[in-house]
Amino acid sequence: MPQPRPRFASWLMLLAMTLVLVAFSGCKRDAPEEAIRAQVTALQAAIEARSASDVADLLDEDFIGPQGMDRRGARQTAAVLMLRHQRIGVVTGPLDVELQGADRARVRTRAALTGGDGAALLPDSAQAWRIESGWRLRGDTWRITSLEWTPALQ
């Protein structure tokens, strides 16, 4: 079976990083920020459960990723990575949530994915990433509208 392209692993890592560090809140936060952090936690759970459809459910209908990746392409990329790795863990840094009005936000973090027993970095993406994601409130649910990542160690 061919090796997954680093772009796929990078996308998954980025998505995980951007959306995962939500559980660490020690101070009072605004309701929108709490809701976004909860969605990040849901994304982490979806990645670790290897559920590409649950990952896609968190993406906005207008989602755009690297190189013009749309929602469908993101779901397919996640599915390929999840088929390649029996176990996936997400290691993230703190989330920086910046609200932009009542219905938009920007989230920044750093992250890495683990594979196998949860201790080894995924072989084709042994890299830490800076992740930035855009969010939009649709109805009463925050969804990811954009995702960008760059290597953190350069």
Mean pLDDT of 67-88: 89
pTM: 0.75
125: helix, strand or coil: helix
43 vs 107: CA distance, rounded Å: 13
Please name each of the domains of the chain with its CATH number. Answer: 6-151 (3.10.450.50)
Mean pLDDT of 105-127: 69
CA distances from 95 to 19, 29, 90, 106, 112 (A): 8, 13, 14, 10, 14
Q: How many CB atoms lie within 10 A of CB 153?
A: 9
Above pLDDT 90, what percent of the chain? 52
- Residue 104 structure tokens: 């938009």
Please tell me the predicted confidence (pLDDT) of residue 87. Answer: 81
140: helix, strand or coil: coil
Mean pLDDT of 111-120: 65
pLDDT at 83 over 60: yes
Mean pLDDT of 16-34: 56
Confidence of residue 20 (pLDDT cuts 50, 70, 90): very low
Please tell me the predicted confidence (pLDDT) of residue 8. Answer: 54
Above pLDDT 70, what percent of the chain? 72
Q: Which of 15-19, 36-40, 60-64 has the lowest mean pLDDT?
A: 15-19
> How far does CA 129 lie from the centroid of its chain?
11
